[in-house]
């Protein structure tokens, strides 16, 4: 099965009433973890690469690893998505290389941290929609701005400063024709999202529900959706790490989101924590080890476990064989005929 359109994955998820995890990758082991978890749980999946991932791994390595993934796991529908594209040029280069989906994050200026204007966001997103849909690729836009700049994507400071306005969201979708919409509801990237278990004061699920009521046919995307489980933090700290106490987004809040239009759930940090904990454990318990396989294998297994758990919790498990993926050319024809 070739790489498939993210739009088709999300349309099917909407029909089935489930969410699809979008997991970030930077290397072979992370791709293998995700594919093994998808096989074990029979899940369709979104694999995503940030600009940093593309430059770390070199585009061509990443792309060919993904081709290996679809060749080796033919039963799994996989979309390859550009996470947080900072400009139309970034999105264009991803599509030209074979990504089947891109995020044009026009909520920020190309520096990835300065909030932009609504007009700028509409302009760059429309540009990307035009070029992507002509090739059958999917576009995710963002309205409102995530908090935090731990990883260089977000406005910094107060995560509630730029929560998505439902009127603006509706207008943005109407003007741009995006396939999926990322919204800001108080989350941020990275491990340090909340200083205690989040309540409605800091994690605005009511706002998400309001947006879904305004836009019942739009696939919503939750960024910054790692749950930062205590157990993963404990492994790191038990073996010499120094994470400060922190809370992520509880899985039950994500599930509430999924019941209210969330179709794509972005998770990176939980996998980073799992990998780091597993590697620290080997280094601590077997300081004599120096074969990278002795720590990368448990790291890969630890990430697979987290991904499989999320796939089950988001509801995508068991849905890999539900539909025949359409070639991108067929998706392009559907966009041209205004069926989508």
Least distance (Å) between residue 51 CB and ligand 13P: 11
Least distance (Å) between residue 226 CB and ligand 13P: 3
Catalytic residue among 11, 83, 105, 270: 83
Least distance (Å) between residue 328 CB and ligand G3H: 24
* Residue selected from 81, 162, 223, 272 as contacting Zn ion according to rule CB under 5 A: 223
- Of the listed pieces 31-39, 155-163, 217-225, 287-295, which binds ligand 13P according to CB under 6 A? 217-225
* Residue selected from 190, 261, 277, 325 as contacting ligand 13P according to rule CB under 6 A: 190
Report which of 70, 79, 17 is spatially closest to residue 44, judged by C-alpha positions. Answer: 79
Q: Which of residues 39-68 bind ligand G3H (CB under 6 A)?
A: 50, 52-53
Say if residues 274 and 303 touch (Cβ distance below 8 Å): yes
- What is the C-alpha to C-alpha distance for residues 220 and 245, in angstroms, rounded to an integer? 30
Say if residues 79 and 4 touch (Cβ distance below 8 Å): yes
Residue 42 or 113 with smaller CB distance to ligand 13P: 113
Coil/strand/helix, residue 320: coil
* Burial environment of residue 302 by CB neighbours within 10 A (0 to 12, 13 to 18, 19 or more): buried
Q: Does 162 bind Zn ion (CB under 5 A)?
A: no
Least distance (Å) between residue 329 CB and ligand 13P: 28
Least distance (Å) between residue 56 CB and ligand G3H: 8
| Dihedral sign of CA atoms 6, 330, 62, 41 in order | positive
* Residue selected from 29, 127, 142, 268 as contacting ligand 13P according to rule CB under 6 A: 268
Say if residues 47 and 34 touch (Cβ distance below 8 Å): yes
Report which of 185, 169, 171, 271 is spatially closest to residue 229, judged by C-alpha positions. Answer: 271
Q: Does 269 bind ligand 13P (CB under 6 A)?
A: yes
Q: Does 125 bind ligand 13P (CB under 6 A)?
A: no
Say whether 83 is catalytic. Answer: yes
- What is the C-alpha to C-alpha distance for residues 8 and 84, in angstroms, rounded to an integer? 20
Say if residues 108 and 144 touch (Cβ distance below 8 Å): no
Q: Does 186 bind ligand 13P (CB under 6 A)?
A: no
Q: Does 156 bind ligand G3H (CB under 6 A)?
A: no
Q: Does 84 bind ligand G3H (CB under 6 A)?
A: yes
Binding mask 64-83 for ligand G3H (x = CB under 6 A): -------------------x
The beta strands (E) that lie in 58-137 are given as 78-85, 101-104
* Burial environment of residue 240 by CB neighbours within 10 A (0 to 12, 13 to 18, 19 or more): exposed
The residues facing 82 across adjacent strands are 49, 102
What is the contact surface with ligand 13P in residues (CB under 6 A)?
Answer: 24, 83-84, 189-190, 223-226, 266-269
What is the contact surface with ligand G3H in residues (CB under 6 A)?
Answer: 24, 50, 52-53, 83-84, 151-153, 189, 268
């Amino acid at each position: 099965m070739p790489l498939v359109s993210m739009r088709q994955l999300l349309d099917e998820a909407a029909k089935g009433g489930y969410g699809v995890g979008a997991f970030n990758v930077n290397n072979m082991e992370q791709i293998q973890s995700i594919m093994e978890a998808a096989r074990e749980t029979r899940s369709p999946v979104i694999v995503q690469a940030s600009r940093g991932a593309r430059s770390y791994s070199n585009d061509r390595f990443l792309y060919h690893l993904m081709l290996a993934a679809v060749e080796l796991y033919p039963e799994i529908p996989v979309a390859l998505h550009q996470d947080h594209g900072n400009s139309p040029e970034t999105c264009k280069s991803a599509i030209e290389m074979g990504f089947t989906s891109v995020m044009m994050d026009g909520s920020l200026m190309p520096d990835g941290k300065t909030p932009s204007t609504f007009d700028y966001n509409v302009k760059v997103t429309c540009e990307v929609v035009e070029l992507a849909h002509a090739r059958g690729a999917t576009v995710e836009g963002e309205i409102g701005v995530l908090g935090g700049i731990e990883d260089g994507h977000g406005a910094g400071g107060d995560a509630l400063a730029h929560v998505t306005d439902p009127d603006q969201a509706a207008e943005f979708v109407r003007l741009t024709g995006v396939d999926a919409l990322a919204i800001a509801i108080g989350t941020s990237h990275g491990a340090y999202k909340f200083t205690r278990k989040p309540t409605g004061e800091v994690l605005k699920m009511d706002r998400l529900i309001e947006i879904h009521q305004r836009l019942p046919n739009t696939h919503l995307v939750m960024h910054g959706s790692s749950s930062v489980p205590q157990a993963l933090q404990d492994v790191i700290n038990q073996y010499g790490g120094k994470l400060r106490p922190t809370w992520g987004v509880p899985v039950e809040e994500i599930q509430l989101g999924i019941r209210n239009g969330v179709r794509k759930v972005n998770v990176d940090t939980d996998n980073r924590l799992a990998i780091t904990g597993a590697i620290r454990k080997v280094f601590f318990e077997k300081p004599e080890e120096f074969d990278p396989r002795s720590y990368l294998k448990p790291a890969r297994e630890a990430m697979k476990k987290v991904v499989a758990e999320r796939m089950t919790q988001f509801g995508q498990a068991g849905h890999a064989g539900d539909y025949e993926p359409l070639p991108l050319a067929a998706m392009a024809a559907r966009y041209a005929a205004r069926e989508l």
